[in-house]
Amino acid sequence: MPKIKFKIVTPEKVVYENEIDQITLPTQSGEITVLPHHIPLLSALKAGELVVKTGNREISLVIAGGFAEIRKNEVIVLTENAERAEEIDEPRAEEARKRAQNLLAQAKNKEAVDYTGLAAKMEKELARLKVVRKRKHGVSPTIKTEE
């Protein structure tokens, strides 16, 4: 079976590069799985889990949104941040989520606020928690957000 050349790039470095069998991406329109000979596609990505399969190995990464360029047998993901699920410290991720939530709550009372930036931060932290808890507990738990 043909392989897909895959690369995930952040502004700082190439996070992962390898030949893979398939990849599942969190697009703005929903999850898609790319197999060899996929049609060309350019897609916006949302914060979430990116799953790479090669042989019998599965690698889970959390991305903070970005873009994916898909060609016949090549996928390039450009993202602001990417980390492997096993590298995420759950207590620190929970604290970051709470900080982002508090900032968003405080911002509601002010006029000149970057709601989009705060919402993106909150989405990123929720994605990190979802993935780490899914990998740790084998299920996708509900994450409560205080309104």
Give the model confidence (pLDDT) of 126-142 as tens digits: 777 777 777 766 644 44
* Domain presence at residue 126: yes
> Based on the structure, what is the number of domains in the chain?
2
pTM over 0.95: no
The domain of 44 spans 4-84
Same domain, 47 and 32: yes
pLDDT in tens, 44-54: 999 989 999 99
Burial class (CB in 10 A: 0-12, 13-18, 19+), 10: middle
65 shares a domain with 14: yes
Q: Is residue 144 part of a domain?
A: no
Largest CA distance in the chain: 56
In angstroms, what is the C-alpha Rg of the chain?
16
